[in-house]
């Protein structure tokens, strides 16, 4: 037993040292896990076996398809048409453009489920418009980066697909349904500081100097984009297709809209789109596969259970333990991406979830919500990296604005903890 404990300690020490040295997360997980397998004499053939087993799971088939959907809709011009529709609805009064950016990001979240893709799509349209209206680039980049974080909550969500593979009892349809209201709540929470900051600093005073688009033509142009989430989610609810099949349907629909309706995607551009999606999907799936080696070593050596028992037996209780998890994951979210956080921490958190009888769907939405906050919390904020790059500002300049959006999301997170039915009412109503 003492030998296993020392091996377990060696695994984590090597992993942390490699991470601090800047080694890619997948490589650090693999080397740490491989060390444990070698020291415990578990058989080196378990390395390729677990690499394959980590991604040989049916729900993961949907992941590359939804990544491809995000790239297709980013290139198709859907974001620009949704922006025009949003402006036609709310008008061009001062302080409205940040609200438009957040609303459009939420709508795109119902299509792609990828925060960085949405940050790129919305940023490509909104940053120039907000700059013309007098919004500082750092503020605009923060609004768009924060708004794009709602996309991993609003279904379909790549993060929910990965979570469903790691956690028994949490189906993809149930997670999709459970994330809808929290995603809307997150969007509303972000709109409040966005509007308050714009008014406090006098941003957007020239919002109303450009002509307001006519409503009906704007609605007609945006209708194909608005129909996408209805097709994806409605088709799953009606039983026409599974989440994996829905991803394929969404790809076909996106290509039809981009190539035949809007004609913004040409045949020669299709290869570049496929390459972009393949690169992103490959990175995610390789990290998932490599993390399976680490998880196998940790679980086989029985390292997790004593750690989980120590935390649950510390007297913190359900809410105290949940508060500790929130603080740890928010801190980790500043330096790691969401998929890596899931792969590293879910094996540790599963025994606690069972001990306190937390609903796996509710707990999954909470974890994803914490990851969403990390996506726009400097220094390692993937959404902010995209939006700040498009805005031409260092990510450090967004920190003074990001803190207000983080606080707003934290308040909404407290509401989700206090009122689990916000998450669970819809899945239960739909019998998921």
| CA pair distance 371, 337, nearest whole angstrom | 8
| CA pair distance 96, 207, nearest whole angstrom | 8
Place of tokens 């086989």: 300
| CA pair distance 5, 9, nearest whole angstrom | 6
CA dihedral for 139, 143, 144, 145, sign (positive or negative) = positive
Determine, yes or no, domain membership for 40.
no
CA terminus-to-terminus distance, the chain? 42
Local confidence pLDDT in tens for the 432 residues of the chain: 446 667 777 888 888 888 778 788 788 888 988 888 888 888 888 888 988 888 888 778 888 888 888 788 878 888 788 888 888 887 767 678 899 899 988 988 777 667 777 888 888 888 888 888 889 999 999 999 999 999 889 888 888 988 998 898 899 999 999 999 999 999 999 999 999 999 898 887 655 545 678 888 888 888 998 888 888 888 888 888 888 888 889 899 989 998 999 888 888 888 998 998 888 888 888 888 888 888 888 777 777 667 677 777 777 888 888 888 888 888 777 767 777 788 888 888 888 898 899 999 999 999 999 989 988 887 767 788 889 888 999 988 998 999 999 999 999 999 999 999 999 999 999 888
H or E stretch at 97? helix 97-109
| CA pair distance 61, 59, nearest whole angstrom | 5
Determine, yes or no, domain membership for 32.
no
Segments forming the whole domain that contains residue 311: 58-285+304-429
The model's pTM: 0.86
Helices marked H in 157-214 — which ranges? Answer: 158-166, 172-201
Determine, yes or no, domain membership for 24.
no
Determine, yes or no, domain membership for 197.
yes
Determine, yes or no, domain membership for 23.
no
As for how many domains the chain has, the answer is 1
| CA pair distance 364, 337, nearest whole angstrom | 16
Determine, yes or no, domain membership for 109.
yes
383-421 tens-digit pLDDT: 888 898 889 999 889 989 999 999 999 999 999 999 999
| CA pair distance 80, 214, nearest whole angstrom | 15
Backbone angles phi, psi at 431, to 5 degrees: 60, 40
Determine, yes or no, domain membership for 126.
yes
Place of tokens 């444990």: 36
């Amino acid at each position: 037993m003492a030998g296993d404990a020392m091996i377990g300690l060696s695994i984590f020490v090597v992993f942390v040292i490699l991470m601090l040295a800047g080694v890619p997360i997948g490589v650090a997980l693999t080397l740490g896990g491989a060390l444990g397998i070698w020291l415990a004499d578990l058989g080196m053939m378990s390395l390729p076996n677990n690499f394959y087993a980590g991604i040989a799971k049916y729900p993961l088939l949907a992941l590359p398809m939804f990544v491809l959907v995000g790239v297709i809709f980013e290139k198709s011009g859907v974001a620009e048409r949704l922006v025009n529709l949003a402006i036609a609805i709310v008008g061009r009064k001062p302080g409205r453009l940040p609200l438009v950016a957040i609303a459009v990001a939420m709508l795109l979240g119902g299509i792609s489920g990828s925060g960085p893709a949405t940050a790129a799509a919305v940023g490509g349209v909104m940053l120039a418009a907000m700059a013309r209206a007098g919004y500082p680039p750092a503020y605009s980049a923060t609004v768009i980066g924060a708004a794009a974080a709602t996309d991993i909550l609003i279904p379909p969500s790549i993060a929910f697909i990965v979570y469903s593979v790691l956690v028994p009892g949490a189906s993809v349809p149930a997670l999709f349904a459970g994330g809808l209201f929290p995603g809307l709540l997150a969007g509303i929470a972000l709109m409040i500081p966005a509007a308050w900051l714009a008014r406090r600093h006098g941003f957007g005073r020239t919002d109303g100097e450009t002509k307001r688009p006519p409503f009906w033509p704007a609605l007609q142009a945006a209708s194909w984009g608005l129909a996408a989430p209805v097709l994806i989610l409605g088709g799953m609810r009606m039983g026409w297709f599974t989440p994996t099949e829905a991803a394929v349907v969404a790809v076909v629909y996106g290509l039809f809209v981009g190539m035949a309706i809007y004609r913004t995607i040409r045949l020669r551009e299709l290869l570049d789109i496929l390459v972009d999606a393949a690169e992103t999907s490959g990175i995610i799936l390789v990290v998932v596969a490599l993390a399976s080696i680490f998880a196998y070593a940790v679980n086989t050596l029985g390292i997790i259970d004593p750690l989980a028992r120590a935390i649950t037996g510390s007297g913190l209780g359900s809410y105290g333990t949940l508060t500790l998890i929130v603080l740890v994951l928010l801190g980790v979210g500043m330096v790691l991406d969401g998929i890596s956080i899931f792969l590293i921490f879910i094996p540790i958190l599963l025994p606690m979830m069972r001990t306190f009888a937390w609903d796996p769907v509710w707990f999954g939405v909470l974890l994803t919500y914490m990851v969403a906050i990390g996506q726009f919390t400097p220094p390692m904020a993937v959404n902010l990296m995209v939006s700040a790059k498009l805005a031409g500002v260092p990510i450090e300049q967004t920190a003074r604005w990001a803190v207000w959006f983080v606080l707003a999301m934290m308040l909404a997170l407290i509401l989700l903890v206090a009122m689990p039915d916000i998450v669970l009412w819809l899945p239960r109503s739909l019998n998921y």
